[in-house]
Structure 1
């Protein structure tokens, strides 16, 4: 009997239509991926948090120098302005060193993915 009363209320007082705002978009809900047990058996390290695993300085150096350099990537930076200060040249060489270290550090991820 209560269901009939609820339906009558809905029919008499229909819900107001919600005006869609073009600046609000709905997102799909987040989906969690459950790993197959066979995959965990094959790759036990898949359960570890790969990006938060700290490496010692020696392990990091070993990982970087373990992978061969990419010969297919040809990069020659533009020449520095000769009138630039020595400090600018030092900072540029430091940034280049960081770029090379990052490229070599992420190379194992490329090998793992591809």
Structure 2
């Protein structure tokens, strides 16, 4: 029987700040940056900073499936591969991507709200 890991505690550590930041985001690009920074922080925590995770390793793809992309460099890391198949890590990142994608789509559909904030 394989050992199952859970990263829900790591998710809870970043979730409140993540939600606050995406709710304050004024553009789709800002939402993408928040998602990238949050997942970067999460993966650095999960991997104990033994693998350097950089912003360019992660991309939010709000209009496609899957909703995000992880660089080939990270996907080839044995430790991440192990966690990916033996934990809830893909689900944790997917939940963050769903939330960010929803906010991104909302901002893209209603650019007048962003423009109104800029004019104030």
Normalised by the shorter chain, which TM-score bucket? under 0.3
> Which TM-score applies when normalising by structure 2?
0.26
Work out which of the two has the higher radius of gyration on C-alpha atoms and give 1 or 2: 1
> Which TM-score applies when normalising by structure 1?
0.27
**Higher helix proportion, which one?**
2
